């Protein structure tokens, strides 16, 4: 009896998968991975002996229940204590945080030097805002052995000591109060985190910060961010996305890679997509211009060199600047100094997550 | 094609199993031969013809060495020489060339010899030799059917990673495989256990070893040792998992292969270890090299020489690199020492210590086995005793050691017969068979999860 059940189930398992492949149309896009799945293998790959690999890659992408299986594996790894091998770690309170990147101090030093040189050449003040990593700020909730691996301390110290730039000191405030200033399912800061960073920047730059209630605060529930998709820990509850909108700013938005202008900082259409974060300033563009028609006459122009953290900081800065020029070095190939001259910028702010200053900030554009 | 691939699990295996079991008896073995050749050709579309050639030539020679035909011995020598020549050409040319080049660098330095190693050549060549030798010795009859002989050599379960099935062990089964349902069910169990060993345990600890091996000098002494233990488990669960899958698949097709691993890490001496590790290979070398050389019947000196010969060959069989030779000699010397006096000394130790000592000897052996580069080998063994590797652990290696401690513990328990013993005791209870079924299903799902995760690759770069 047991033999027939065993054999029956085994054959069923082996046959169900190929039957599924035969009967159901092939998937072309994976939402959770945000990538196109592998194409069916071409016979031309027989020529370079890659046919067997191509078949395997294709089948792996088409495996029924793939996300669930990947999730099962993610929880197996988590529950057996092997988080250290993953890119994303879950802390005791269910926050999914990025594991520390291995960053060489020289990489940071080189970039800080370039930033100082930029300030010297343009004669403008260069502010550097490095956002400490979630894991570092929330290290009290991580297993001690993992928490010990974050090197933010020494990297932030390097920035604090760097000559020729003006560091925005986020770390202390974030370590004291910032445990909830990050999303559980995403690597970004929340509205609160961005606002705290905004205040610290305004203080460093000698400007008057607006109070928190000078902004409309909108929330959208059901936000699922990057750390959840990367970790495949599907049982993590979604976040509430926070949006801070300046109350009276006559905003005009334009992009270097697109025609036309937009009257808003927020693009709610992106809520229909899997990834919501492009809601802020329509996500990534090489150069984004934000003009504030209702700014005071003497309000300055800011050049904001940023990764995606800058997209939630910029709306908070809008009321205090006549114009903000956002530059994303991953897509912009020109020179930052030229941009400063072109738009007559009066201040330069680098806003980056700490580790990605080293990995993502393209050195050549700082020449 | 490897067993732990989706191509194998969900395309090759169901088609082959159904075809094999449903076809009439006459066609069955031919179908198995075709399926096996396809299995091999999937990874070796050219070398499959080399294998087919070798099968046909040795099948022909089989008739020449049988009975009391003329020039029997000459045919045997020819066959053995041809098989060894194949190994020499395809496995050792690169090594020999590099060595010669090292000795006479001037005229040769520009030239490189690159011959790709055909998958499984060491296994099928040894199987073929066992056939010809056993027919010569009269232990087996020459196989009249080239299809049956081809199926024996190329049978996909054992083709690329063993066990090395000797012809005499399977001769009768080829004509009359055991196609019972219970045999199939046992095969399913064996296969799943093997798949779990490979995918969950071996691949799991492999991550730890890869990490620790990648930071020599920055692991601390404990980190280096834990890395070595991780590799020790990796190689065992990888290889024995593969053997279990092979035996399981064999059972599904109606064949019983010899047991290839018998809890080697509970061995109490090196001699004991080699009775439990890769048994089919040790048996082969004993039957076809050690005993023909005289074994232990010609005095101690000759026995020592024989052991050194066997272990030099065993080392080189594992790979064309001088560290494998060193690894073989390491065991050769240890086995000789055990025969001379060490065995008697060991006997006086408590059993626990004997096992621990044997495990550590095996682990250090795997260290030699792993590093094909002697400089890296030296660095690693230095790091085991703190040379160039200060401290007990570093923050990073400690996080890894701690994180993998539970899996290492699972590996340690799975290396003992505890699980099998528990299963045997519980098997009298009726409910256990259902629990076992559920466990098997769970195991399969976990393996699929691990396999699916290998290709899970979120593209999130644009989010930063």
- Tell whether B207 is covered by a domain: yes
Domain tally, chain B: 2
Domain boundary among B176, B195, B223: B176
Same domain for B154 and B20: yes
Same domain for B310 and B287: yes
> 């200033």: which residue's tokens?
A181
Domain boundary among B416, B442, B457: B416
- Tell whether B448 is covered by a domain: no
Of A98, A298, A40, which Cα lies nearest the Cα of B458? A98
N-term to C-term CA, chain A: 76
Same domain for B197 and B136: no
Is it the case that residue B287 has pLDDT exceeding 80?
A: yes
Same domain for B367 and B309: yes
- Tell whether B145 is covered by a domain: yes
- Tell whether B232 is covered by a domain: yes
Same domain for B110 and B138: yes
Give the model confidence (pLDDT) of B373-414 as tens digits: 999 999 999 999 989 888 899 999 999 999 999 999 999 999
Chain A residues in contact with B45 (beta carbon < 8 A): 46, 49
Kindly determine whether residue B5 and residue A56, on different chains, have CB atoms separated by under 8 Å: yes
What range defines the domain where residue B146 resides?
A: 6-176
Same domain for B251 and B152: no
Give the model confidence (pLDDT) of B12-53 as tens digits: 999 999 999 999 988 999 999 999 999 999 888 888 999 999
> 């069916």: which residue's tokens?
A40
**pLDDT over 90, % of chain B:** 74
Note whether B461 and A328 are within 8 A (CB): no
State the Cα angle at A351 between A349 and A354, rounded to 5°.
135
The residues spanned by each domain of chain A are 2-64, 96-366
Q: What is the mean pLDDT of residues A180-207?
A: 95
Give the model confidence (pLDDT) of B190-237 as tens digits: 999 999 999 999 999 999 999 999 888 889 999 999 999 999 999 999
Same domain for B160 and B190: no
Kindly determine whether residue B457 and residue A35, on different chains, have CB atoms separated by under 8 Å: yes
Is it the case that residue B348 has pLDDT exceeding 60?
A: yes
- State the smallest CA–CA distance between residue A207 and chain B in angstroms: 28
Give the pLDDT band of residue B105 (cuts 50, 70, 90): low
**Pairing mode of beta strands A301-306, A323-327:** parallel
How far CA B305 is from CA of B273, B302, B424, in Å, comes to 21, 5, 43
Segments of A270-367 assigned E as strands = 287-292, 301-306, 323-327, 347-353
Q: What is the DSSP letter of A266?
A: B
Of the listed ranges A11-25, B99-113, B141-155, the one predicted with least confidence: B99-113
User: At a CB cut-off of 8 Å and minimum separation 6, what does B149 contact?
Assistant: B55, B59, B62, B131, B143
Same domain for B216 and B162: no
* Option in B14, B184, B459 nearest A14 (CB): B14
Same domain for B306 and B198: yes
- Tell whether B271 is covered by a domain: yes
Domain boundary among B391, B416, B441: B416
CA distance B251 to B333: 38
> 């002494």: which residue's tokens?
B221
Give the pLDDT band of residue B463 (cuts 50, 70, 90): very low
Mean per-residue pLDDT over chain A, rounded: 91
- Tell whether B454 is covered by a domain: no
- State the smallest CA–CA distance between residue B370 and chain A in angstroms: 22
Give the pLDDT band of residue B112 (cuts 50, 70, 90): low
Kindly determine whether residue B42 and residue A52, on different chains, have CB atoms separated by under 8 Å: yes
CA distance B280 to B261: 9
For residue A172, the tally of other CB atoms under 10 A from its CB is: 12
Looking at B88-145, list the stretches that DSSP marks H as alpha helix, in order from N- to C-terminal side.
93-103, 105-108, 121-136
* Option in A63, A69, A308 nearest B464 (CB): A308
Is it the case that residue A241 has pLDDT exceeding 60?
A: yes
Same domain for B63 and B18: yes
Of all residues in chain B, the one with the smallest CA distance to A76 is B446
Same domain for B220 and B151: no
- Tell whether B422 is covered by a domain: no
Give the model confidence (pLDDT) of A186-197 as tens digits: 999 999 999 999
Q: List the single best residue of B3, B458, B459, B461 to mutate versus A (max A Cβ within 10 A).
A: B458
Same domain for B300 and B206: yes
- State the smallest CA–CA distance between residue B28 and chain A in angstroms: 19
Give the model confidence (pLDDT) of B131-182 as tens digits: 999 999 999 999 999 999 999 999 999 988 879 999 999 988 988 899 999 9
CA distance B256 to A212: 76
pTM summary value = 0.91
User: At a CB cut-off of 8 Å and minimum separation 6, what does B398 contact?
Assistant: A145, A148, B220, B223
CA distance B58 to B129: 8
pLDDT of residue B103: 75
């Amino acid at each position: 009896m047991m033999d027939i059940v065993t054999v029956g189930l085994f054959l069923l398992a082996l046959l169900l998968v190929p039957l599924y492949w035969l009967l159901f149309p092939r998937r072309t896009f994976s939402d959770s991975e945000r990538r196109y799945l592998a194409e069916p293998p071409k016979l031309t790959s027989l020529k370079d002996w890659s046919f067997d690999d191509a078949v395997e890659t294709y089948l792996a992408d088409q495996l029924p229940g793939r996300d669930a299986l990947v999730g099962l594996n993610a929880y197996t790894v988590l529950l057996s204590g092997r988080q250290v091998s993953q890119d994303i770690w879950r802390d005791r309170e269910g926050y999914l945080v990025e594991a520390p990147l291995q960053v060489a101090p020289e990489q940071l030093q080189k970039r800080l030097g370039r930033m100082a040189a930029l300030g010297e050449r343009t004669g403008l003040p260069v502010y550097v805002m490095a956002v400490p990593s979630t894991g570092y700020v929330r290290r009290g909730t991580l297993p001690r052995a993992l928490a010990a691996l974050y090197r933010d301390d020494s990297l932030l110290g390097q920035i604090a000591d760097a000559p020729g730039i003006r560091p925005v000191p986020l770390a202390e405030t974030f370590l004291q109060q910032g445990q909830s200033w990050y999303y559980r399912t995403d690597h970004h800061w929340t509205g609160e985190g961005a606002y705290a960073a905004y205040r610290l920047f305004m203080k460093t730059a000698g400007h008057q910060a607006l109070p928190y209630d000078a902004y409309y605060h909108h929330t959208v529930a059901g936000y699922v961010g990057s750390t959840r998709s990367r970790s495949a820990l599907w049982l993590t509850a979604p976040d509430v996305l926070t949006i801070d909108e300046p109350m009276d700013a006559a905003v005009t938005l334009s992009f270097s890679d697109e025609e036309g202008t937009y009257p808003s900082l927020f693009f709610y259409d992106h809520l229909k997509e899997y990834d919501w974060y492009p809601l802020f300033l329509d996500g990534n563009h090489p150069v984004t211009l934000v003009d504030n028609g209702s700014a005071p006459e003497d309000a300055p122009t800011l050049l904001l060199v940023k990764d995606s953290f800058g997209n939630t900081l910029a709306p908070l800065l809008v009321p205090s600047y006549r114009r903000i020029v956002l530059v994303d070095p991953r897509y912009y190939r020109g020179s930052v100094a030229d941009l400063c001259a072109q738009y007559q910028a009066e201040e330069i702010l680098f806003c980056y997550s700490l580790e990605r200053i080293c990995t993502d900030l393209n050195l050549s554009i700082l020449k | 094609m490897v067993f732990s691939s989706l191509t194998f699990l969900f395309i090759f295996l169901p088609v082959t199993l159904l075809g094999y079991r449903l076809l009439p008896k006459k066609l069955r073995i031919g179908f198995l031969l075709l399926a096996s050749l396809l299995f091999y050709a999937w990874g070796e579309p050219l070398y499959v013809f080399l294998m087919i050639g070798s099968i046909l030539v040795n099948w022909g020679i089989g008739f020449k060495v049988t009975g009391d035909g003329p020039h029997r011995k000459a045919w045997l020598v020819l066959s053995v020489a041809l098989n060894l020549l194949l190994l020499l050409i395809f496995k050792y040319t690169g090594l020999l060339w590099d060595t010669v080049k090292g000795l006479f660098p001037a005229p040769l330095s520009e030239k490189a010899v690159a011959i790709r190693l055909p998958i499984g050549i060491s296994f099928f060549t040894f199987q073929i030799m066992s056939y010809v030798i056993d027919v010569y010795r009269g232990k087996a009859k020459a196989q009249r059917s080239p299809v049956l002989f081809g199926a024996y050599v190329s049978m996909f379960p054992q083709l690329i990673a063993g066990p090395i099935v000797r012809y005499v062990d399977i001769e009768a089964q080829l004509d009359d495989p055991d196609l019972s349902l219970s045999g199939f069910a046992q095969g399913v169990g064996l296969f799943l256990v093997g798949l779990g060993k490979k995918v969950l345990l071996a691949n799991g600890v492999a991550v730890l070893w890869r990490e620790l091996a990648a930071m020599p000098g920055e692991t601390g002494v404990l980190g280096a040792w834990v890395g070595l233990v991780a590799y020790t488990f990796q190689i065992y669960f990888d290889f024995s998992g593969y053997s279990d899958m092979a035996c399981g698949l064999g059972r599904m097709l109606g064949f019983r292969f010899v047991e290839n691993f018998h809890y080697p890490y509970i061995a109490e001496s090196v001699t004991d270890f080699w009775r439990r590790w890769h048994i089919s290979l040790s048996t082969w070398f004993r039957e076809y090299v050690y005993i023909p050389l005289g074994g232990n019947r010609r005095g101690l000196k000759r026995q020592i020489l024989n052991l050194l010969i066997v272990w030099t060959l065993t080392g080189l069989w594992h790979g064309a690199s001088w560290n494998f030779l060193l690894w073989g000699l390491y065991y050769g010397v240890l086995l000789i020492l055990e025969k001379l006096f060490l065995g008697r000394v060991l006997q006086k130790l408590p059993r626990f210590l004997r096992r621990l000592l044997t495990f550590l000897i095996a682990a250090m052996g795997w260290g030699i086995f792993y590093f094909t580069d002697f400089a890296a080998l030296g660095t690693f063994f230095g790091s085991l005793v703190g040379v160039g590797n200060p401290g007990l652990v570093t923050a990073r290696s400690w996080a890894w050691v701690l994180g993998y401690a539970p899996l290492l513990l699972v590996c340690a328990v799975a290396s003992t017969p505890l699980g099998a013993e528990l299963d045997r005791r519980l098997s009298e209870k009726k409910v256990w068979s259902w629990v076992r079924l559920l466990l098997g299903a769970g195991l399969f799902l976990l393996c699929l999860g691990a396999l699916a995760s290998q290709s899970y690759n979120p593209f999130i770069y644009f989010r930063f």
